[in-house]
């Protein structure tokens, strides 16, 4: 009898476990991760809908005391892992109208050489058989050979479209850098494919590509564009030249910006010379190499050491008895001290605030052009508006440097964002909400527009209550961490940021930190 009851109990428990197992299997059928990511990062809530928490994941920011070595590997951005991409995620039935992308170039060869050491042995030609590789690398190489059919502004036509030296030249893009941006482009293609962002017969004006006059930025831009638009039609493409790394166009003259930069550099110098461990480390490294510490510091050894780390190469060594040096190898511990000081410098930079003032003036011209583009696209969708011939800038790609992306992040108020790694990307998306699901009465729209700096009830005018922006950094949605949308009503009907917030920020509010009302006022006003 006892055995029989035990048997019945086991049957019942087995049935319950089977039901639970089936339930879990069913739950796992629901897709919950963003494009290209295997599993969500801690703190993210999956899915889509009208809850902000479901649209805005928690961004990865610096730890209170980050490990310098781990941080450095993150900076390398080695393309050997799955990558998340929250681009293209929105509440149901929202229409994606425009995407503006700013990137940092991919992995490059060092800009500086450490005296008396051998340069890193890296091949900068491209080979699909060499790692890291990418499924599109071979076709990308072939497509770049047809680049003569494109239009290149200024001196861009004289730059190589592919890295091509078996022994890399200073600052040259590596195969790793090309693969990083092929992956970026592929991620964006997957993210935006279902939104049909670009028509198959896109016009020259609808795809805007701009780059500085460096081969590494041009080649990075081409790699991302090819990943995004494989085998694009060269005859429809114009590559525009930005002569300044700040992408400031005709608005580069700004005396106050230069003053803030000089003050920031003095702050940086004072912090560095006060670091006794850093000075002792430089002295030890110089002793090993037989160099004066001042000469070693001027050679910026961290740039070369990062290249060794990112490519898995041993740190430089010199033979004992060479000149005045004691001989030996530079060490990971020495590298860690320099990176530690750089991370502490970033914390002090935020505390003092000089860099933020510089960043606002450095990036306003680019942000203003971005705002104007988004507003033009928004107005093009106003009821009764006839589309302009050739359309608007639906996809814009700006290929730049760390000195471009870093101030952009600071100006947007993303002070806690990690320093721009190789192949970093900042994305601005413009969304239109469906009128049928807005759920807003006129009074609600007016209230929202007033808070956003938009006059009157302009939700039907192209840049009012039905137009929204998102900002993403390396695939993470950081919209509600920006200055212009940090205080946006968390209970608003739409879990996105009104376009009016962004327009008001760029045209006036971003100058509050400078006690000014405009770019011209902030640049030229004399202070006591």
Helix and strand numbers, DSSP H then E, in the chain: 16, 11
Strands 395-400 and 207-211: parallel
Give the separation between CA 303 and CA 308, rounded to whole angstroms. 9
List phi, psi (to 5°) of 462: 110, -20
Return the SS3 of 132: coil
| Backbone phi, psi, residue 103, to 5° | -125, 155
C-beta contacts of 312-317 below 8 A and 24+ residues apart? 313/120, 313/121, 316/114, 316/117, 316/118, 317/117
Rounded distance, CA 305 to CA 521, Å? Answer: 43
Distance CA 19, CA 150 (A): 61
Residue among 80, 99, 96, 89 nearest 32 (CA): 89
How far apart are alpha carbons 366 and 404 in whole angstroms? Answer: 10
Annotation marks residue 105 as catalytic: yes
Per 3-state DSSP, the chain is made up of helix, strand and coil in percentages (nearest 5) of 45, 10, 45
Rounded distance between C-alpha atoms, residue 117 and residue 329, angstroms:
10
User: 123, 303, 402, 457: which one is catalytic?
Assistant: 402
**Which residues in 54-116 belong to E strands, given as ranges?**
95-104
Annotated catalytic residue, options 105, 364, 481, 488: 105
* Sequence-separated (6 or more) residues with CB below 8 Å from residue 354: 260, 263, 264, 267
What does the block give as tokens for 151? 């239009």
* Phi, then psi, of 404 in degrees rounded to 5: -95, -45
To the nearest 10°, report the CA torsion of 160, 162, 164, 167: 110
Dist. CA 348–CA 267, nearest whole Å = 9
Burial (CB count within 10 angstroms: exposed 0-12, middle 13-18, buried 19+), residue 259: middle
Give me 228's structure tokens. Answer: 């995004």
Residue 480 and residue 56 in contact, taking contact as beta carbons nearer than 8 Å? yes
What gap in Å lies between CA 173 and CA 125, rounded to an integer? 9
> Can you tell me the distance from the alpha carbon of 251 to that of 520, in angstroms, rounded to the nearest whole number?
9
| Separation of first and last alpha carbons in the chain | 98
Which residues are designated catalytic?
105, 402
């Amino acid at each position: 009898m006892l055995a029989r009851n035990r048997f019945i109990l086991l049957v019942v428990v087995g049935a319950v476990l089977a039901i639970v197992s089936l339930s879990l299997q069913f739950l796992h059928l629901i897709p919950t991760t963003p494009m290209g990511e295997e599993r969500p990062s801690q703190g993210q809530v999956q899915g889509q809908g009208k809850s902000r928490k479901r649209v805005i994941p928690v961004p990865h920011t610096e730890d209170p005391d980050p490990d310098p070595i781990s941080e450095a590997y993150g900076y390398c951005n080695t393309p050997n892992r799955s990558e998340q991409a929250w681009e293209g995620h929105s509440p149901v039935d929202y229409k994606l109208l425009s995407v503006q992308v700013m990137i940092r170039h991919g992995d490059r060869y060092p800009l500086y050489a450490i005296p008396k050491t051998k340069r890193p042995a890296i091949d900068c030609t491209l080979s699909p058989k060499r790692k890291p590789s990418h499924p599109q690398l071979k076709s990308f190489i072939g497509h770049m050979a047809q680049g003569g059919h494109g239009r290149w502004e200024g001196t861009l036509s004289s730059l190589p479209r592919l890295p091509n030296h078996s022994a890399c030249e200073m600052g040259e893009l590596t195969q790793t850098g090309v693969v990083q941006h092929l992956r970026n482009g592929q991620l964006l293609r997957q993210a935006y494919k279902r939104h049909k962002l670009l028509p198959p017969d896109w016009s020259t004006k609808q795809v805007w590509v701009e780059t500085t006059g460096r081969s590494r930025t041009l080649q990075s831009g081409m790699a991302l564009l090819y990943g995004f638009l494989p085998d694009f039609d060269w005859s429809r493409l114009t590559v525009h030249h930005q002569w300044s790394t700040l992408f400031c166009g005709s608005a580069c003259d700004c005396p106050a910006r230069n003053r803030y930069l000089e003050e920031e550099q003095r702050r940086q110098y004072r912090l560095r010379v006060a670091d006794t461990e850093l000075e002792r480390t430089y002295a030890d490294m110089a002793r090993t190499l037989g160099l004066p510490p001042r000469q070693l510091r001027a050679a910026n050894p961290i740039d070369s050491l990062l290249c060794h780390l990112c490519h898995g190469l041993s740190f430089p060594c010199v033979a004992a008895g060479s000149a005045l040096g004691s001989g030996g190898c530079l060490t990971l511990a020495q590298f860690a001290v320099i990176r530690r000081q750089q991370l502490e410098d970033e914390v002090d930079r935020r505390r003092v605030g000089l860099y933020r003032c510089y960043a606002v003036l450095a990036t306003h011209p680019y942000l203003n052009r971005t705002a104007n583009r988004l507003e033009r696209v928004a107005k093009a969708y106003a009821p009764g508006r006839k589309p302009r011939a050739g359309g608007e800038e639906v996809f814009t790609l700006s290929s730049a440097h760390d000195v471009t992306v870093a101030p952009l992040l600071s100006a947007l108020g993303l002070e806690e964002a990690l320093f721009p790694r190789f192949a970093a990307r900042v994305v601005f998306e413009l969304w239109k909400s469906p009128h049928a699901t807005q759920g807003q009465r006129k009074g609600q729209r007016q209230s929202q527009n007033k808070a956003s700096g938009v006059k009157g009830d302009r939700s039907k005018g192209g840049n009012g209550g039905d137009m929204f922006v998102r900002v993403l950094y390396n695939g993470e949605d950081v919209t509600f961490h920006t200055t212009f949308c940090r205080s946006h009503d968390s209970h608003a009907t739409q879990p996105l940021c009104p376009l009016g917030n962004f327009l008001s920020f760029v045209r006036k509010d971003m100058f509050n930190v400078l006690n000014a009302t405009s770019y011209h006022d902030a640049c030229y006003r004399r202070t006591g």
